[in-house]
Structure 1
Amino acid sequence: MKSRILWIAVLASFVAFLDGTIVNVALPAIDRELGGGLLTQQWVVDGYFITLSAIMLVAGSISDAFGRSRVMTIGLIGFGVASVIITLTPDPLILIVARMLQGAAGAFLVPSSLALISAHYSGVARTRAIGTWTGLTTGAMVVGPLIGGVLVDFASWRFAFLINVIPIALTLILLRRVPDPPHSPDARIDVAGALLSILGLGGLVFALIEEPRLGWGDPIILVTLLGGAVLFLLFLLRQRRVSDPILPLDLFRERNFWVGNITTTLMYGALSLNGFVVAIYLQQEAGLTATAAGLASLPTTIMMILFSTASGRLAGRRGPRAFMALGPILMGLGSLMLLLVSEDFDYWWQVLPAMIVFGLGLAATVSPLTSTVLGAVPEERSGIASAVNNAISRVAGLITVALVGLIVGGTIDLDGFHRAAVVVAIFLIVGGLVSLAGIRNPVLSADDDRRG
């Protein structure tokens, strides 16, 4: 049964992670067919992230209240329906709306997946299971551009979204006859808080994406920026007063939880910015096909597959602090190596070494980071804890993608590509230093060792 649970968790999360990255390599093709330029490309990515981030917090509470398996089933079906709508979309607006629906459905998948693992595994065995989950699902995040590239070049960018149907069907089959762990049917869902969160994030992201086009002096930018900030502040204040908050602020009293989430913010913001800029630059400026651009990230995928489970196991034995400190710093060095990219483009000498170093750092970091954040809270709160951590990572990503225009100077040319690489490196190195200063290695008991 445990192996079945692990595969369910992997496949369900695979759907959300794959779609979150497969889109990057399809963006130039979407622009060629539907138009809209960089602004549409940003909204295709961030429309998904806005609903994913905001609703994921509610989904964590719903998962704890109504059961992981039931919530996961709803998310899988909704994600499949939204994917079909995307394949049929005639214009950018419907595409963006469908992406937002897809993000809303995806919000039900990752928290339920991690909560299932936490409910069925304990001690070092849980750390190893999360390491396996991390390796396979994060591998999906990186292999997404490869799958998308092949489909873009040899079929259509639309099929890059339809491929989700396969893991969705497999997961629904495996979910049959899987008993739900204990949950709290009397839990209340903060719908008003969810709306404040969605509108607040939406306003902020709209202002950041549209600012390069309209300018800071435009009333629309000022209203949406200030309005979004006020609404999100009201959301945070509300979470201090309601009896069943969707973002329990008391979770952040645990040192490893709040430090881990700072590292999450910096690392996943950098990952999203890096994936967005690299996928577009390699096609629109370096002249690679979509397939070649997807293959460019394959070394990072290989590093994840080879070393992620091992890093999770070692972190379970020796503590996560060193892994969470050195891993992001190594990723940052990999990003700085992209400064070697020049007008005379050569993948083998200018990009490949950076991808390998970046992948080693990613493999060393992700599993220990996830285990540390979830291990900092009681097991019965694992659903909301995983939802908070994943929502934070998506919010970080949507903000950095929203800032792309400002970071690259309006266009992803060579200078803009280099500026983005430096910003990514700064985020990652600071994230590693935060972990080095703040993370505390937990003391493992003899019982934990025996269970592993």
Structure 2
Amino acid sequence: MTTKQRWVLALTSAASFMIALDTTVVTTALSTIRRDLGASVETLEWVVNAYVLTFAVLLLTGAALGDRFGRRRMFVAGLATFTVASAACALAPTIGLMIAARAVQGVGAALVLPLAITQLSAAFSAEQRGKALGIWSGITGLATFGGPFIGGAVAQGLAWQWIFWINVPVGLLAVAFTFLRINESRGPNRGLDAGGVVLAIGGSLGLVWGLVRGNAAGWGSLEVVASLTVGVVLVVAFVGWEIRSLTPMLPMRFFAVRGFSSANAANFAMIAGMYATLFFLAQYFQTAQGDGPLLAGLRIMPWTGTLMVCGPVAGRLADRFGERGPLLAGLLLQAIGSGWLALIISPDLGYGWMLPPMILAGCGISIAMPAAQKAVVGAVRLEEIGPASGGFSMLRQLGGMFGIAIAVAVFAAVGSYASPHDFSGGFAAVLTAVTLFAVIGAACAAALPGRSRTAPAVSAPTVSVAR
């Protein structure tokens, strides 16, 4: 690598690590945040969902803004937005202001991640790009692996506010060195699908709000019925808008391809279950078993760590045998592990009894994840990899948001924070819902086309713009 290439790789990797880390780092601090800010379980989920919602629906717009106004300029704008919002999260005196700041963080993240990979790809030749992207993906993947542990260590050793304060010096340094070390560049001046963005945000918000408020306000209440109805109407309007748009953020014709639609549906269900489990697992260790945030983060690591072990092997299996087998097997393992844990979970359950089902479910997710992405980008033409991969990432983030929303609704109907026994009962119901998610995902995976005898439509390496 040249000196310039090293700087591009270092800065884009650091920014992507910071962005990806904030998706999972708060999970082990949720119990502390709930107590300090007096949050209910319904409002607590928005600490995660507000970030994921704006991140997901603006993800495809970030790359288009960079092409039009300058990639370095918009990358820096995203870093600055994320950094300022991180400080606002740390200073938030109420849960409402915390949620608002997290939504702004998601806006910054939606600019940073797609432009990080765009600038990285532009800085390296075709012969060097695979290695550079591999290093970037590995560093970004460490955020998923280490997020719960880092969050627990910071929340217990310092205070939960430092989860956000740590972003400030890193963000400021990244902004300064980006101006000094990365040149400005632009891409094709594509149109912005502003109508699609507005409809996607409105539809997602309406559906999630209805799910969140269902237990508290009543499923037959005007608020909940109106919210769900508006959500469905706006999602249908989004589909219609995208069909007619000259520059759609997610081309609807992709869904006519069975490989694209089946793999995205399977991945949506899998990620819904993963986020739902992650949201409550750290809280279970702290609320039901009395662990501190640090120990809770350590206990989650065997589950998240399976990605580092199984991911590379799963990718090779998908290359050799096709995507349907690994995707189906992974979702079935997730279903078995989650169902097993749902049957045995209790306040006094020994950690040794939890490890086998946790690892089984984690291995299932790690095996299915590369196969799902490979199936999605392999279903489209070479020149369509960008929007297909972006759509996959957007649906992945939305799957996590809906998974948390449904899990919270299930937990609120069955359990509570009143006692370890009440919490464990609610968590068992959540794990049952996660098992159902995985079974639905497995059914979608089974609908994937078998391995083609001809050359695939896409032979380029698959790259995700978000984790």
Q: Same fold (TM over 0.5)?
A: yes
Alpha-carbon shift at residue 267 of structure 1 (Å): 0.9
- Looking at structure 1, the residues matched to 71 and 316 of structure 2 have their Cα atoms a distance apart, in angstroms, of 26
CA contact 1:30–1:157 (8 Å) conserved in 2: yes
CA contact 1:307–1:360 (8 Å) conserved in 2: yes
Match of 1:435 among 404, 427, 445: 445
- Looking at structure 2, the residues matched to 122 and 433 of structure 1 have their Cα atoms a distance apart, in angstroms, of 38
CA contact 2:262–2:447 (8 Å) conserved in 1: no
CA RMSD in angstroms comes to 3.1
Which digits, 9 at most, give the CA deviation of each residue in 1:235-254, with x for residues without a partner? Answer: 22111112111221122233
- Looking at structure 1, the residues matched to 370 and 7 of structure 2 have their Cα atoms a distance apart, in angstroms, of 20
1:344 aligns with 2:354: no
- Looking at structure 2, the residues matched to 177 and 424 of structure 1 have their Cα atoms a distance apart, in angstroms, of 45
Counterpart of 2:465 in structure 1 is none
Which digits, 9 at most, give the CA deviation of each residue in 1:360-385, with x for residues without a partner? Answer: 22322222322332343344444332
CA contact 2:83–2:172 (8 Å) conserved in 1: no
Alignment-mate amino acid for residue 183 of structure 1: G
1:112 aligns with 2:115: yes
- Looking at structure 2, the residues matched to 420 and 361 of structure 1 have their Cα atoms a distance apart, in angstroms, of 18
Alignment-mate amino acid for residue 113 of structure 2: V
Alignment-mate amino acid for residue 85 of structure 2: A
Alpha-carbon shift at residue 111 of structure 1 (Å): 3.2
CA contact 1:59–1:387 (8 Å) conserved in 2: no
Change (3 A) 1:195 1:98: same
Gaps of 5+ in 2: 417-422, 462-467
- Looking at structure 1, the residues matched to 229 and 349 of structure 2 have their Cα atoms a distance apart, in angstroms, of 42
Alpha-carbon shift at residue 9 of structure 1 (Å): 5.3
Alpha-carbon shift at residue 4 of structure 1 (Å): 6.8
Counterpart of 2:266 in structure 1 is 263
Alignment-mate amino acid for residue 433 of structure 2: V
Change (3 A) 1:149 1:417: same
Provide the TM-score with structure 2 as the length reference.
Answer: 0.85
- Looking at structure 1, the residues matched to 316 and 83 of structure 2 have their Cα atoms a distance apart, in angstroms, of 34
CA contact 2:68–2:186 (8 Å) conserved in 1: no
Alignment-mate amino acid for residue 147 of structure 1: I
Counterpart of 2:159 in structure 1 is 156
Counterpart of 1:296 in structure 2 is 299
Counterpart of 1:88 in structure 2 is 91
Alignment-mate amino acid for residue 45 of structure 1: V
Counterpart of 1:402 in structure 2 is 405
Match of 2:197 among 166, 171, 194: 194
The one of the two structures with greater contact order (alpha-carbon pairs below 8 A, sep at least 6) is: 1
Match of 2:375 among 365, 372, 376: 372
- Looking at structure 2, the residues matched to 164 and 32 of structure 1 have their Cα atoms a distance apart, in angstroms, of 23
- Looking at structure 2, the residues matched to 167 and 309 of structure 1 have their Cα atoms a distance apart, in angstroms, of 29
Counterpart of 1:273 in structure 2 is 276
Gaps of 5+ in 1: none
Which digits, 9 at most, give the CA deviation of each residue in 1:170-196, with x for residues without a partner? Answer: 7654786556787212x1112222122
Match of 2:32 among 29, 33, 38: 29
Counterpart of 2:79 in structure 1 is 76
Alpha-carbon shift at residue 159 of structure 1 (Å): 0.8
- Looking at structure 2, the residues matched to 260 and 175 of structure 1 have their Cα atoms a distance apart, in angstroms, of 39
Q: Match of 2:111, SS?
A: coil
1:141 aligns with 2:133: no
Which digits, 9 at most, give the CA deviation of each residue in 1:197-229, with x for residues without a partner? Answer: 212221221121112111123322222222222
CA contact 2:11–2:174 (8 Å) conserved in 1: yes
Which digits, 9 at most, give the CA deviation of each residue in 1:344-370, with x for residues without a partner? Answer: 221122x22223222322322222322
1:285 aligns with 2:288: yes
CA contact 1:152–1:160 (8 Å) conserved in 2: yes
- Looking at structure 1, the residues matched to 64 and 373 of structure 2 have their Cα atoms a distance apart, in angstroms, of 19
Which digits, 9 at most, give the CA deviation of each residue in 1:407-451, with x for residues without a partner? Answer: 222535222111111221221233234223314446558x9699x
Match of 1:389 among 389, 392, 415: 392
Change (3 A) 1:97 1:280: same
- Looking at structure 2, the residues matched to 102 and 77 of structure 1 have their Cα atoms a distance apart, in angstroms, of 10
Alignment-mate amino acid for residue 299 of structure 2: A
Alpha-carbon shift at residue 117 of structure 1 (Å): 6.7
Alpha-carbon shift at residue 78 of structure 1 (Å): 1.5
Match of 2:188 among 164, 184, 187: 184
Counterpart of 1:411 in structure 2 is 415
Alignment-mate amino acid for residue 430 of structure 2: A
Change (3 A) 1:285 1:252: same
Alignment-mate amino acid for residue 261 of structure 1: N
Alignment-mate amino acid for residue 166 of structure 2: I
Counterpart of 1:420 in structure 2 is 430
- Looking at structure 2, the residues matched to 182 and 253 of structure 1 have their Cα atoms a distance apart, in angstroms, of 32
